[in-house]
Amino acid sequence: MTLGQFATAVGATPRWVQNARAVLKLHGRYSDDTARTLGLARELADATGMPLMRAFPLATSALAAWPAERQWTYANVDASVRMTIDLQRYLSAFSTRLSLARSAYQERRRGPRPARSRNPVAAATEYGWDVTLFDESFKLTPVQRLRRLDEMSEFFRRAHRVSEP
């Protein structure tokens, strides 16, 4: 998984992901599990205003409760604040972002774009079109092609006259 795909799965910008990983001292490769936890921590931090350093352990414990619990509830020591997370809803949204990251996200390649030197007739054949008439036409000289075009035009004019009442 690349940084761009990871950021898409988390639902943040690549810069935010880099800063969050530095603050949380997360090292190693980008993984689905880390993206799932960091995405929930980001949402907790945004919704409650708590620092990311506190939201990340809460997100880890909330996701550890899945699938035994569909909702995870947290209350502070004196129970004056209570927070409930719908794990099923969050995981559904995360799965959508992860699918987007894997299927639609593509890293930009460095350097100049590669030149496309593809034969259009070969491409049409691969697509399933019958190109035998094109092949036969390409074997003729331009003069022969014009002569054939004139013959077809004359044929259509005669056919049109015959069909008129």
Cα torsion 56, 61, 66, 68 to 10°: value is -170
**Total number of domains constituting the chain:** 2
6: region left, alpha or beta (phi > 0 left; psi from -120 to 50 alpha): alpha
Tens-of-pLDDT digits for all 165 residues of the chain?
Answer: 888 888 999 999 999 999 999 999 988 888 889 999 999 999 989 888 889 999 999 999 889 988 888 888 887 777 777 888 888 899 999 999 998 888 877 666 778 877 776 788 788 888 888 888 888 888 889 999 999 999 999 998 888 877 676
Instruction: Burial-class residue 161 by CB neighbours within 10 Å (0-12, 13-18, 19+).
Output: exposed
Domain housing 149: 120-163
Q: State whether 17 and 84 are in the same domain.
A: yes
User: How much is the pLDDT for 119?
Assistant: 82
Q: State whether 12 and 80 are in the same domain.
A: yes
The first and second tokens of residue 31, run together, are 């993984």
Q: State whether 97 and 144 are in the same domain.
A: no
User: How much is the pLDDT for 101?
Assistant: 87
User: How much is the pLDDT for 117?
Assistant: 67
Q: State whether 85 and 59 are in the same domain.
A: yes
Q: State whether 86 and 148 are in the same domain.
A: no
pTM for this entry = 0.60
Q: CB-based contacts of 85: which residues, under 8 Å, 6+ apart?
A: 40, 44, 62, 71, 72, 73, 74
User: How much is the pLDDT for 107?
Assistant: 64
Q: State whether 7 and 55 are in the same domain.
A: yes
